Amino acid sequence: MDTHPPLSTGPTAPIALFDSGVGGLSVLRHVRQRLPRERLLYVADTAYMPYGEKSTALIRARVLWLAQRLLAMEAKLLVLACNTATAAAVRELREALPTLPVVGMEPGLKPAIDVSRSRRVGIIATEGTLRSEKFRLLLARYGAGAEVLTRACPGLVEQVEQGALSDGASEVLLRRYLAPLQQAGVDTLVLGCTHYPFLIPLIRRIVGEEMAVIDTGEAVARQVQSQLQQHGIASLAEGVGALRFYTTADPEPQQALFRRLWGEPLTLERLPP
């Protein structure tokens, strides 16, 4: 990968977020709410979605390739809005681009343990996240003194990518994955994939209102704000910053889903080569 610094790291340059698909839109919403003046780019690597079942080597290659494209678009900060991509490649990305601020994702285990009354915490995530060294280290750091139960959830990302947020198939999958956690007395559930916040209404239907549900999107937005201030690159512009959406696949089949999940009109573009 070309490791030259970005073309522009000034306040007017955009922040870039990327994920394997639409899941990172849940993070983008938090960033937009906290930092409305910032120009934002969002990229869905739909051509290689989902990441959860891909090899670590392939995910790293995709992350570095996307970072190179976004540097060419003058991104001043990168957000890996994907737990699987962060677990597989954030260290390598920071090594390749040491002068560029990079913010990643990780399951919110610490805040979950802090709010859990029973000290029994459940984490649902992709297979890629749960098998990663980064996740093992997270458990070692924060998991002592609590019972942490994990469930890989194959198929859930694909359901969200199809817009099936409340249909019968999604409910069947979620009930299958959540049942062992409920039976074990878990009182706090960590969403370890950025696609899963779009399923919160369905999750609530299954687990009720008593169980705490932890989504780390807001924490990531705070970290982005902190990095902008630390590096002196926060936007000083008046008004709302521009927002652009890209995909590595054909945009047309995804337009309706992007608009539905984002909740506003938008134009989805093909990522420039």
Could you give the residue numbers annotated as active site? 82, 193
Instruction: List the one residue out of 78, 42, 63 whose CA is nearest residue 233.
Output: 78
- What is the DSSP code (8-state) at residue 265? -
251: which 2 tokens?
A: 């945009």
DSSP code of residue 19: E
Contact between residue 172 and residue 156 where contact means Cβ atoms under 8 Å apart: no
What is the DSSP annotation of 205-242? HHH-SSSEEE-THHHHHHHHHHHHHHHT-----SSPPP
What's the CA angle centered on 189, arms 215 and 220, to 5 degrees? 20
Q: How crowded is residue 207: how many other Cβ atoms within 10 Å of its Cβ? A: 20
Q: Do residues 235 and 37 lie in contact, with contact meaning Cβ atoms separated by under 8 Å? A: yes
Q: Where are the alpha helices (DSSP H) in the chain?
A: 25-34, 56-72, 83-96, 109-115, 127-130, 133-142, 156-161, 168-183, 200-207, 217-231, 255-262
Give, in order, the Cα–Cα distances in Å from 125 to each of 129, 155, 205: 6, 11, 19
Distance CA 115, CA 122 (A): 12
